[in-house]
Homo-oligomer: A and B are copies of this chain.
Amino acid sequence: MSKEIPYKIYLEENEMPDSWYNVRADMKKKPAPLVNPATLKPVTADDLKPVFCDELIAQELDDKTAFFPIPQEIRDFYKMYRPSPLVRAYCLEKKLGTPAKIYYKFEGNNTSGSHKLNSAIAQAYYAKKQGLKGVTTETGAGQWGTALSMACSYFDLDCQVYMVKVSYEQKPFRREVIRTYGASITPSPSDTTNIGRKILAEHPGTGGSLGCAISEAVEAATTQEGYRYVLGSVLNQVLLHQSVIGLESKIAMDKYGIKPDMIIGCAGGGSNLGGLISPFVGEKLRGEADYDIVAVEPASCPSLTRGTFAYDFCDTGRVCPMAKMYTLGSGFMPSPNHAGGLRYHGMSPVLSELYDQKLMRAVSVEQTKVFEAAEQFARVEGILPAPESSHAIRAAIDEALKCKETGEEKTILFGLTGTGYFDLYAYKAFNDGEMSDYIPTDDELKASFAQLPKQPE
């Protein structure tokens, strides 16, 4: 090693990636296509036009093109908060007494507090370019809604956010940030849509769910002139935009001659992990290098480790196309004592396919262990991590402690997706010793799998 590794590696602006990388182009067996639930046939661009922006549909359906140039307007916005630092966790290594070398790519240094902004700005840009008036979306924990409100404010687009009612009430400050960026925000289910009114009539007093908020946002987009719906995870286009995380990591590591043995990321819908690993998986697919890739999911919502690989609806309201993915069933709801995000019932079709092909593995962790890792990390690394990100921290610490036992000097890279400023009610429960774990039973999952829709041929 010729150069000393600094605590934080920041790329120069001219070293930042100028294209996104589409890992599907290098996959021999491609992810299964989205299908239309009415016909059970693959969706066409025309099927998706009423819902999504045209250019985003093209990106969604394209599994051949390896590189998509990042438009200059988006690169300019990226410069406002990127490159994100690649940090060598010297302090954590010292605290653990591990011979492992730990790096993390920190995506929390922007007001939305997470990596979600990488795709939000791209989706807002294409909506603006298409001459739309605005976009609609749903948000659960609130990272995506905040990111989209920032992006829309930048391009002067109207932004309508349906926020899961229980989060809307639990997180008044998330709501205020979104309002400060000029977006409108409606607790879901609401009486502003047909599906919302139907759900309210059937379940008065419900706190809502992500699936329900998706259904409302899709209805709002398709019933207003000049609006489209946008989504912050799961979709291929989102993983494409998020590849900027992995590309920057790879450029920074190459610059200092660092080669990770292991790449770890938290996985809910898969947007962060998919983005982080994409250039590394590309090398793996092309036979140029090998990496141990690990998805970390909550034990309370274990789509990869305990789900089934099948076609399922992307939303609870069953109005969206179906995707082939590892799923717990579109009606599955994680226990209310589960804090933070990573609550989605399914997993990105790209990641599901990579997992099925054994190109990556998955582990699940319990939330009390996750918050122990979060606290340990915060105390030595000076960043208060989001609960989501802390799943990756937990796994990275566990791997580093294994190295301490075996003496192996592994190089670990993990994704630190964001900050926990809006999750302090969960930290409070942890600090007060009032946090508990919940693991769904086999019977519960079996009942949920029984509700899966009819599969295409």
Binding site for B on A (CB under 8 A): 6-8, 10, 12-13, 79-81, 91, 109-111, 117, 150, 153-154, 172-173, 176-177, 179-182, 375, 378-384, 419, 421-422, 424-425, 427-428, 431
Contact status A382-B150, CB under 8 Å = yes
User: Nearest residue in B to A113 (C-beta to C-beta)?
Assistant: B421
Chain B positions within 8 Å of A6 at CB level: 12-13, 79
A92 to chain B, nearest CB (A): 11
Label chain A's interface by main secondary structure. helix
Contact status A179-B431, CB under 8 Å = yes
Chain B positions within 8 Å of A80 at CB level: 7, 91, 381-382
Contact status B180-A81, CB under 8 Å = no
Contact status A79-B176, CB under 8 Å = no
Contact check: which of B109, B172, B375 meets A428 at CB < 8 Å?
A: B172
A7 to chain B, nearest CB (A): 4
Contact status B7-A384, CB under 8 Å = no
Bound together, the chains give a CA A181 to CA B80 distance in angstroms of: 30
Give 5 new A-B contacts, CB below 8 A, not counting A173-B425, A177-B427, A179-B428. A7-B80, A80-B382, A109-B109, A111-B378, A177-B424
Q: List 30 A-B contacts (CB under 8 A).
A: A6-B12, A6-B79, A7-B13, A7-B79, A10-B10, A110-B382, A110-B383, A111-B383, A111-B384, A153-B379, A153-B380, A154-B379, A172-B428, A173-B173, A173-B421, A173-B424, A173-B425, A176-B424, A176-B431, A177-B424, A177-B427, A179-B431, A180-B378, A180-B379, A180-B384, A180-B427, A180-B431, A181-B378, A181-B379, A421-B421
Contact status A177-B13, CB under 8 Å = no
